Amino acid sequence: MQYDFLDTLGIKEINYGATNGASNGWMKTTGAELVSYSPIDGKPIATVIQATTEEYNTIVEQALEAFKKWRLKPAPLRGEIVRQIGEALRQYKSELGALVTLEMGKIRAEGEGEVQEMIDIADFAVGQSRMLYGLTIPSERPSHKMMEQWHPLGICGIITAFNFPVAVWSWNSLLAAVAGDVNLLKPSSKAPLTAVAIHNIIAPIVDKHDIAGVFNLVIGSGREVGEALINDKRVPLISATGSTRMGKRIGGIVGKRLGKAILELGGNNAIIITEDADLDMAIRATLFGAVGTAGQRCTSTRRIIIQKSIKKLFLDRLVAAYKQVKIGNPLDSETLMGPMIDAGALEDMMNAIKKAKSEGGTLLTGGEKTSVAGIDGGFYVTPAIMEVKNHYEIVQDETFAPLLYIIEYDTFEEAIALHNDVPQGLSSAIFTSDVHKEHIFLSQAGSDCGIANINIGTSGAEIGGAFGGEKETGGGRESGSDSWKAYMRRQTNTINYGTSLPLAQGISFDVSD
């Protein structure tokens, strides 16, 4: 395939896989070839020459040297550079969004929406650069003052997943940059070209401010580059987005070397729908949450927990809405759902449906491989709805696909119990007109997730709040609120401005001449 936006973004037929961020910083990498295929038709877009372990080490050494200077630059000046990155992203929003669609498969509006997240987080980070607040703390000793301040960590290693190939980079790298860290991105091997494009977009800003080594990229296999990164004691922080299985392994390795980890892992997100819910709103939220991005968001709606008295009415309307979903080329503005990322993902969905049926589930609609007129190839499927029980083994797992499970409940207490009875804890929602149920859902006796919403769906978090979840979702937090603290180290200081040396806790320790 050839599109004008590939040329605009500097994507060539053959691309190198490592850079220190500067225009002349691309390294002539010598590793194995990695071909990026479009899920739209399964055909190759372009090739990346991956980095070797030695080339990874070269980039890390450049990043360490850059950190020595970057950490000393005043935070508001770091913020100004991030502001300029945001402006560059505004300039290339359409092209980069189109590349996200081409390489990942989400519809064009979602591709551009992901770039808008990058722009929004750049704006947020600019403000944050003037608000890296510490504390002053009363001392129990006379003529003493205590305070707390925050310092940069060093290199922030960023491991991203295919489903949000550009936004997650920005959540981490732009906040880490204003905090004084430098960054090293290892993107998903399923979406490497978006990472190349990002670094082409920001290269003029890196050149202008002479900050080569602050924003770094290394594309390589998990076995070679991934293992080097997570085991590297020179990288104090690893932020990883992916499956729970992957996160457990990364968290164990990083923890063993006493590094820090931000883990954004699986979700098994549910919406509780009560008997007094606004069904129009609930159906819209369910449709977008389950079908958007072909069910390949961390926050995609996986389960609907619905009061049994309204289940039939809700399902009749939802099934009818599903049958109207236009599946097609995601570059077409009329398409509502594009392809899945690859044949393996599509097969995982088919196997999940088969497993759910074997456990007693009923397929209500969808779940069939399909094709799109005018496209030879691609990984398309009709979104599926199944009626199941929450305790089914397959329901307890996350299937990264447009597969929605319907679970009925009797009492509200039962609904909460069903909602929380999965290993994951990312995003959650309730649709109700009962203010008491709303507050119970948000209380310590309600949702056990990192995100809990009232009368909106599970998908589509704003950047101003901290993003992340509990239990097997990993406990990490990125983006808004005080997530910036994860990229810094805390230091407590005590200043004695007196002429004596009183000890804490009233201890007396005199030494006579």
> What is the set of active-site residues?
264, 298
CB-CB contact of 154 with 70 (8 Å)? no
* Contact partners, residue 67, CB within 8 Å, separation at least 6: 152, 154, 155, 181, 182, 213
**What is the total residue count of the chain?**
513
Q: Is 182 helix (H, G, I), strand (E, B) or coil?
A: strand
For residue 399, what are its two tokens? 């299937």
Nearest to 222 by CA among 240, 206, 234, 235: 240
CA distance 266 to 246: 10
Amino acid occupying residue 424: Q
CB-CB contact of 473 with 448 (8 Å)? no
Q: Is 122 helix (H, G, I), strand (E, B) or coil?
A: helix
Q: Is 495 exposed, middle or buried (0-12, 13-18, 19+ CB in 10 A)?
A: exposed
Alpha carbon distances (Å) from 505 to 146, 148, 399, 494:
15, 20, 56, 15
Three-state secondary structure string covering 468-511: CCEECCCCCCEECCCHHHHHEEEEEEEEECCCCCCCHHHCCCCC
β pairing state of 478-479 and 466-467: antiparallel
CB-CB contact of 114 with 98 (8 Å)? no
CA 124, distance to chain mean position in Å, is 17
CB-CB contact of 494 with 163 (8 Å)? no
CA distance 200 to 166: 13
CA distance 86 to 124: 10
CA distance 510 to 210: 54
β pairing state of 269-273 and 427-431: parallel
CB-CB contact of 20 with 185 (8 Å)? no
CA distance 239 to 487: 10
